[in-house]
Amino acid sequence: MSNLNENISKSTCQFCQSNFKQDVEIIICPQCSSLYHKECWIENSGCGVYGCNYKIKVDNAETLSIEEIKINIEYLINENKYHEAISECKKILKIDRKNSEIKKLYNTAVHLVNSKTKLIENGDISFENKDYKAAEIYYTNSFKYLDDEEKEFYKSRISIIKDKIPFERKKKIINTVLISVILLVIAGALGYGYYFYYFMEEDRAFAELEKNDSVNDIQKMEIQISKYENFLKRYKKPELLEKANDKINYFSGLIANEIYKSDWKNANKYLGKIDFVKNPVTYKELYSRILDEAKSEYKDRLNNAKKLDLQKKYEDSKNQIEDAIEIINLFPESDINADKQKLNSNLTLLNKKISSELKYSAINEEINEKSEELKKFGTVNNNLKVLNIKAKILEYSQPSTVIAKVIDSGNLVALRNPDVDLKIGEIIDFECIRNGFIEVNSTKQGLLNLPLYIPAYFHETTYNLSGLSPESESLEIRLDYLNDQKMKLDSILRMPLKF
Residue 229 lies in a domain: yes
Q: Which of 274, 351, 341 is nearest to 317 (CA)?
A: 351
- Can you give the C-alpha Rg of the chain in angstroms? 44
- What CATH code is carried by the domain that includes residue 410? 2.40.50.110
When mean pLDDT is compared across 159-173, 219-233, 287-301, 419-433, the lowest value belongs to 159-173
Q: Which long-range contacts (CB under 8 A, 24 or more apart) does 301-309 make?
A: 301/327, 302/499, 305/346, 305/497, 306/496, 306/497, 306/499, 309/350, 309/353, 309/496, 309/497
Q: Please tell me the distance from the alpha carbon of residue 320 to that of residue 317, in angstroms, as a whole number.
A: 5
Q: Please tell me the distance from the alpha carbon of residue 230 to that of residue 214, in angstroms, as a whole number.
A: 19
Q: Please tell me the distance from the alpha carbon of residue 7 to that of residue 19, in angstroms, as a whole number.
A: 11
Q: How confident is the model at residue 87 (pLDDT cuts 50, 70, 90)?
A: confident
For 36-84, the pLDDT digits (tens) are: 888 888 878 888 888 887 887 654 444 556 777 788 888 888 888 888 8
Q: Look at residue 192 in the predicted model and tell me its pLDDT.
A: 58
The tally of domains found in the chain comes to: 3
Residue 294 lies in a domain: no
Q: Look at residue 418 in the predicted model and tell me its pLDDT.
A: 65
To the nearest 10°, the Cα dihedral for 156, 161, 164, 169?
A: -170
Residue 184 lies in a domain: no
152-166, 326-340, 388-402, range with greatest mean pLDDT: 326-340
For 305-349, the pLDDT digits (tens) are: 999 998 989 999 999 999 999 999 999 999 999 999 999 999 999
Residue 353 lies in a domain: no
Alpha helices per DSSP H over 27-147:
38-43, 66-78, 82-95, 100-128, 132-141
CB count, 10 Å around CB of 449? 18
- Amino acid code (one letter) for 285: E
Sign of CA dihedral 297, 302, 303, 307: positive
User: If you average pLDDT over residues 143-162, what whole number do you get?
Assistant: 82
Beta-bridge partner residues of 452:
414
Residue 480 lies in a domain: no
- Please give the mean pLDDT across all residues of the chain: 83
Q: Look at residue 170 in the predicted model and tell me its pLDDT.
A: 67
Residue 408 lies in a domain: yes
For 340-380, the pLDDT digits (tens) are: 999 999 999 999 999 998 898 898 888 888 878 877 764 33
Q: Please tell me the distance from the alpha carbon of residue 304 to that of residue 103, in angstroms, as a whole number.
A: 65
Residue 135 lies in a domain: no
- Residue 19 and residue 12 in contact, taking contact as beta carbons nearer than 8 Å: yes
Distances (CA, A) of 370 to 265, 373, 451, 477, 479: 55, 5, 14, 10, 7
Predicted TM-score (pTM) of the model is 0.46
What is the percent of the chain where pLDDT is above 70?
88
- Say which residues have a Cβ less than 8 Å from residue 404's Cβ, sequence separation at least 6: 391, 392, 393, 394, 412, 413, 414, 415, 428
* End residue of a domain, out of 216, 245, 278: 278
Q: How confident is the model at residue 18 (pLDDT cuts 50, 70, 90)?
A: confident
For 462-486, the pLDDT digits (tens) are: 333 344 567 777 887 888 788 778 8
Residue 153 lies in a domain: no
* End residue of a domain, out of 115, 130, 155: 115
Domain around 268: 206-278
- Residue 42 and residue 58 in contact, taking contact as beta carbons nearer than 8 Å: yes
For 176-214, the pLDDT digits (tens) are: 878 887 888 787 667 656 666 667 788 888 988 888 888
* End residue of a domain, out of 98, 115, 132: 115
Q: Please tell me the distance from the alpha carbon of residue 496 to that of residue 486, in angstroms, as a whole number.
A: 18
